[in-house]
Amino acid sequence: MTRRKFTSKFKTKVVLEALKERVSLSELAQKYELSPTQISKWKREFLENASEIFESPQTDKRSEAEKEKDRLLKTIGELKIENDFLKDALR
């Protein structure tokens, strides 16, 4: 039997539904073909890590892109200077 893998989107959907407490955990487990223990584990992990969403904004991804952009602009500048120097040397 192979292990099933669940996306974070699916886990979030299940956890949010569990947090609403409109249906019992066993009904939710039956609906999504999971064990109640698995849902409880996801719920606990979600609640433990929920504060991180507000602590570190997603500027990390942007800052990586900005660093790459800065690196590329620096390379372009260096190549332009080198190109201009070589053009002058050929005159």
Give the pLDDT confidence of 8-17 residue by residue, as tens digits.
999 999 999 9
pLDDT of residue 27: 95
Q: How far apart are CA 27 and CA 55, in angstroms?
A: 34
Query: What pTM did the predictor assign?
Result: 0.58
Give the pLDDT confidence of 25-60 residue by residue, as tens digits.
999 999 999 999 999 999 999 999 888 877 756 556
- Cβ of 38: how many Cβ atoms within 10 Å? 15
Q: How far apart are CA 79 and CA 91, in angstroms?
A: 19
